Structure 1
Amino acid sequence: METEAKGGMDPALYKAATQGCVGILRKLVVNDVKILNSKTPQDNTALHLAALHGHPKFAQQLLAVSEELMVAKNADGDTALHLAAKTGRLKVLDLLVGLARAWPEEPNPEDTLLKSPLMMTNNEGNNPLHEAVRHRKTAVALALLDADHSRAHDLNEKMESPLHMAAREGLVHVVRKVFDFAWVEPAEYVPSAAVSGTALHQAVLGGHTKVVEIMLERQHAALLDMTDPNGNNALHYAAQKNNSHVVELLLGKKTQLAYSRNKDQQSPLHVAAQYGSTAVIKALLQHCSDVSEMEDGNGRNAFHASVISGKANALRCLLRRVRPAELLNRADKNGDTPLHLAAKMSHVHSALMLLRDRRVDPCIRDHDGETARSLVEKKLHTGVTDAHEMYLWKQLKRQESARCRKQQLPPVTFSGDSRTSSHKYFERSVETYILVATLIATVTFAATFTMPGGYNQETGIAIHGHDTAFKIFVISNTVAMCSAIVVVYCFIWAWKDPLKFKIDQLVWGHRLTMIAGLGMLVSLMASVYITVPHKSRWPAYVVIAIGMSTPAVVVLMLGRDVIFVPL
């Protein structure tokens, strides 16, 4: 028998199992019943193959001869029931489940032959219900739950239960079925370091609001207070995913969740600020406005968290909704305010946003006696001068001189020249933009006096003036020309203050250049459409197709870089 297993399955049996030929099976068994012990190189028995290919009658005939095939495992540790669950073979599964229900009790857990197939696990520690849920076979999972609902809480090698998986995958019917059964002790939900929290955490991570609603309706008291190994509750997870609807559900059940802390002493608002979850920030502050006062283990509030993570959108949201000036100027354990951190970490956008808020005090000194201005100044002394940081330094210096006259401040030890500290490619970029914009303005201006289709010699009016395509040409040509003219004039004044220009106007110049180019493209398509004969339009359609695909090709080649200034 062992030799047969190593040599592979009998070809006739293999063919019969994959095709479900019961007649051939009977003939083979009559000749030699031991043929059922033969296996494929992956240790699949004939029952495995029948389950895999969905042949219930063939499987029934096999089990009538050898019921021990029910607990036979292949190289992956899968039984036939595992394979039926993976592939969603419901008829085969119903047959196997019916036999598994009548399986004898398990007096010895080590005795595989006496262990119920519903409980048996594969090499990953998954029981059949794990596999059904993992492969999103809802009907199969429901059938397995009807057979033995307690299997929904078995843990695999990754310490995940089928309930964890169903919650993460958003299998609403499976989760509802699990919670329809008797109460499960909270100990069943205790997470491990290998899984991201409880089943509720998984549902929140997956963004499955309906699953969350079911859990909160049935067993919210036990689940709400449970945390993952890092001390995060479900509200911390909702803050990560910017799911304000789930936040509303959770706070509706227990408002105190907003004040809970993880192992880093972070509140859900800290997490929302760290991940840039603006919708959650709004919801948390609407329900619990004083949560903004909470500090983490380093003495940092949500403003600090948003600055450290570089989430300018979260910082903007906090500035609009948190009123006390004290919180904006709060120093952490190192003496750093949010403005200090923004200066230290070169988060120029965040620093400028803070400076624009009159509540932010630029005069505060850290434990080393440094202001935000002097911190930036130290970086500029290193010689690696960035235009954005130079601009920030100028703004900080101006704010200090205007607002900190009566206070003792670190001396100004740097005098930067905006012209020498400009980006080395700035001059080339300005010249390129001016050249491109000038060409576009010239071409579009010329097109104005060479209208497609020509003029009426008597009236001087364009021949196709009443056509929709002609009107599109006129508008797009005008947009292209005017955009190009604005770019030319803006870039002429760029030399006056390059740093200010790079921060404030360069992006707009880039965008207007792109708009001008798109306008030229539209005017090209419209003019070709006008001038091509009506009886033979196909060249015009080809030109339109090429023109419309041109922006797509540029985006495909450059990706998101197309919206940024190439400096």
Structure 2
Amino acid sequence: MASAVSSLLMPSDDVNTAITEFARRFNHSYYQPLQLAILKGDWKSTKAFLDNDPTALTAKVTIHGRTALHVAAVGAQWKLVEKLVQHQHMPANMLAELDLMGCTCLHYVAMGESVNTAKALVAKKPSLTQVTDLKGFTPLIYSITSRRCKEMIWYFVLNTTDESPSCPFSGPSANQLVALLTGAGFHDITMYLLHRYPNLATISDSNGSSIILNVLSKLPSHFQSGQNLGLLFAIILRSILLKHEYGNIMWTATYTLLPGLKQAIDMKLRHVYAVILTEFVISRASTMNSNDYPFWQSFVSPEIIFSATSSGIVEILETCFQFFPDLVWTHIPNEGNVIQIAIKNRQEKVFRFLCKMPIICQLLVLAIDESNNTASHLAARFTSKIESTSGEALQMIRELQWFQEIEKLDDPLHKQVKNNDDKTASQVFMKEHKPLIEEGKKWIKDRSNSCMVVATLIATITFAAAITVPGGNNQDKGTPIFLPNHKFGVFMWSNAVAFFSSLTSLLVFIANMNGYYTEEEFVIVLPQRLVIGLNFLFVAVVTTMVAFIGALSLFLEDRFKNFTTIIWSLASIPFLISVMLLLPSTTVELLYKKLYDPKKGSI
């Protein structure tokens, strides 16, 4: 894809030579005022120059051999382009004039966002969409390269035919067309073209590998499995289905209020069409030369399987294995089989997908690579490609959980197998994760210190509140004055719970500070201690808030109307916020799984 873009934009040596030769005899000073007026969008000065010298309308006015039309298009002066096109002395054949870069005015217009300007040019010369540059590229390819305006691409797709001599959909430039269009993510446009020109579906490179699949396998963000979406985003994407039920009026207003929603919808549609495109291409390949084994083996090349696996694109792998089951045994030199690649790159979704084929998965896991590494050796390596966590200790937990999960599937005898570095899987794990373990311990102490400060502060406040109760004590009996009031009971009980909860939390975090953490503790003991300490601290904070409300109610409820309703409403705000912040790791994940339909691969 990158080579397609560079071949489109980079001038050749012949072009550079032609520009140098033309510049030697070009009268730059004469045409400079016209060029500057056009680039400024100054139609009055431009018209005055052309009226004074009508030949300037068709002359080359820059050292790159560009006409006034070219200059206006390159400068994105769309209104001025349209006025030049409509000029009474502008001949239609001048619209097809090439500059020294080999482009017509329409090639440059295609890279902009003004569809009306393109329509004005084509209206005066309908065959302009078929004119190619020096490398055989039509304006359609230029519009895709820009990626700025999808409407512009659609316009050229609908107004470009596969006629000679350009033949953009069957000629030499078809390779660049599908590569650029797929890379740009306009998969709905690609599907339209594949239905119109089926030959594009199975177009391949010099090695016989599918160009479309090659590009898609390197674009994980174009697939659902390549992105991790939160609950809120999942709900937004699910609401896309309502668009067809309530019409476009509501959604137009919603787009205005929430600009990011349109991008979310575009992303969802890109995910859907990427899967459709993948299935269409592979299904077309399965119907061609179905008995010719080398055909599909090269069409879905090992590079495609490797890219899809290492990028975590489950949809491509699932479709490939559905139509060509033997591809699951693909082996890439120095990389291994699909499950070894997934393990090395921490692609958990790919690994879970392969585990749905238990026998195949077990056979692939038992394989040993060229360096005598078992699956456990590969899982033992440290990688920064795992999902981001909130701390080194939690990252260490994820690392160890991943290693232990793979180790369970691996042959027990492989625990003693040494690789070419003379190390077992456990030794590799300890060596590569030693720095992370130290960072994890430091992270635990830092977080424990922070939480201990909060727990100590709550314990101090609640202790002081217990001995200096609201309203004071009876001088004769020493009992609190507000003791008969039920609100005083709420204050005392919540204050007591806050006090003991904060002390419990404090003790748990002290244990974290002084503990020695083995591998097992990183997975079992540490998470339990963190959860227990944070839960008790959360209870202490909430009950401190309740105690505060109870104390205020004793003094102010009789003086202010609706005081209780107002104060509880205010208190609910931090509580709801804290609940929302705590949900994502548990409830949100469960809700998201209910929203996501794995069979359909969409929300």
TM-score of Structure 1 vs Structure 2, range by shorter chain: 0.5 to 0.7
Q: Which residue of 2 aligns with 1:403?
A: none
Cα distance in structure 2, aligned partners of 1:365 and 1:136? 55
Count of matched residue pairs: 456
Q: Which residue of 2 aligns with 1:255?
A: 325
Cα distance in structure 1, aligned partners of 2:514 and 2:215? 55
1:308 corresponds to 2:371: no
Cα distance in structure 1, aligned partners of 2:71 and 2:138? 19
Residues 203/481 of structure 1: CA separation in 2 closer, same or farther (3 Å cut): farther
Residues 269/164 of structure 1: CA separation in 2 closer, same or farther (3 Å cut): same
Q: Which residue of 2 aligns with 1:132?
A: 143
Residues 298/172 of structure 1: CA separation in 2 closer, same or farther (3 Å cut): same
Q: Which residue of 1 aligns with 2:391?
A: none
TM-score (norm 1): 0.59
- Helix, strand or coil: the match of 2:484? coil
- Helix, strand or coil: the match of 1:232? helix
Residue in structure 1 matching 2:50, options 29, 48, 63: 29
Mapped contact 2:143–2:153 kept (Cα < 8 A): yes
**CA deviation after TM superposition for structure 1 residue 147, in Å:** 1.5
Residues 54-111 of structure 1: CA distance to partner in whole angstroms, max 9, x if unpaired?
A: 336424235952544544448x8764223321223223223434666546xxxxxxxx
Cα distance in structure 1, aligned partners of 2:324 and 2:186? 25
Residues 103-144 of structure 1: CA distance to partner in whole angstroms, max 9, x if unpaired?
A: 6xxxxxxxxxxxx8742169xx97532332231533322332
Residues 239/456 of structure 1: CA separation in 2 closer, same or farther (3 Å cut): farther
Residues 128/301 of structure 1: CA separation in 2 closer, same or farther (3 Å cut): farther
Give the aligned residue type for 2:510. Answer: F
Residues 18/126 of structure 1: CA separation in 2 closer, same or farther (3 Å cut): farther
Query: Unaligned 5+ residue runs, structure 1?
Result: 104-115, 315-346, 390-421, 554-567
Cα distance in structure 1, aligned partners of 2:498 and 2:206? 60
Q: Which residue of 2 aligns with 1:202?
A: 215
Mapped contact 1:440–1:516 kept (Cα < 8 A): no
Q: Which residue of 2 aligns with 1:142?
A: 154
Cα distance in structure 1, aligned partners of 2:545 and 2:419? 64
Residue in structure 1 matching 2:112, options 82, 87, 108: 87
Residue in structure 2 matching 1:175, options 182, 187, 190: 190
More moved, 76-85 vs 451-460 = 451-460
Give the aligned residue type for 2:41. Answer: T
Residue in structure 1 matching 2:168, options 151, 156, 170: 151
Residue in structure 1 matching 2:68, options 46, 49, 52: 46
Q: Which residue of 2 aligns with 1:161?
A: 176
Query: Unaligned 5+ residue runs, structure 2?
Result: 1-24, 224-270, 289-294, 388-398, 473-479, 582-603
**CA deviation after TM superposition for structure 1 residue 190, in Å:** 0.4
1:214 corresponds to 2:269: no
Give the aligned residue type for 2:329. Answer: Y
Mapped contact 1:239–1:280 kept (Cα < 8 A): yes
Residues 380-421 of structure 1: CA distance to partner in whole angstroms, max 9, x if unpaired?
A: 9xxx987959xxxxxxxxxxxxxxxxxxxxxxxxxxxxxxxx
1:492-511 alignment to 2 at 5 Å?
492=511, 499=518, 503=522, 504-506=524-526, 508-511=528-531
Q: Which residue of 2 aligns with 1:482?
A: 501
Cα distance in structure 1, aligned partners of 2:434 and 2:216? 47
Structural RMSD (CA): 5.7
More moved, 269-278 vs 454-463 = 454-463
Residue in structure 2 matching 1:491, options 510, 515, 528: 510
**CA deviation after TM superposition for structure 1 residue 26, in Å:** 6.2
Residue identity over aligned pairs, in percent, reads 14
Cα distance in structure 2, aligned partners of 1:287 and 1:357? 13
Q: Which residue of 2 aligns with 1:462?
A: 487
Cα distance in structure 2, aligned partners of 1:540 and 1:29? 77
Q: Which residue of 1 aligns with 2:461?
A: 443
**CA deviation after TM superposition for structure 1 residue 361, in Å:** 4.1
Residues 450/126 of structure 1: CA separation in 2 closer, same or farther (3 Å cut): farther
1:283 corresponds to 2:348: no
Cα distance in structure 2, aligned partners of 1:516 and 1:355? 35
Cα distance in structure 1, aligned partners of 2:571 and 2:87? 67
Q: Which residue of 1 aligns with 2:41?
A: 18
Residues 279/5 of structure 1: CA separation in 2 closer, same or farther (3 Å cut): farther
Residues 169/362 of structure 1: CA separation in 2 closer, same or farther (3 Å cut): closer
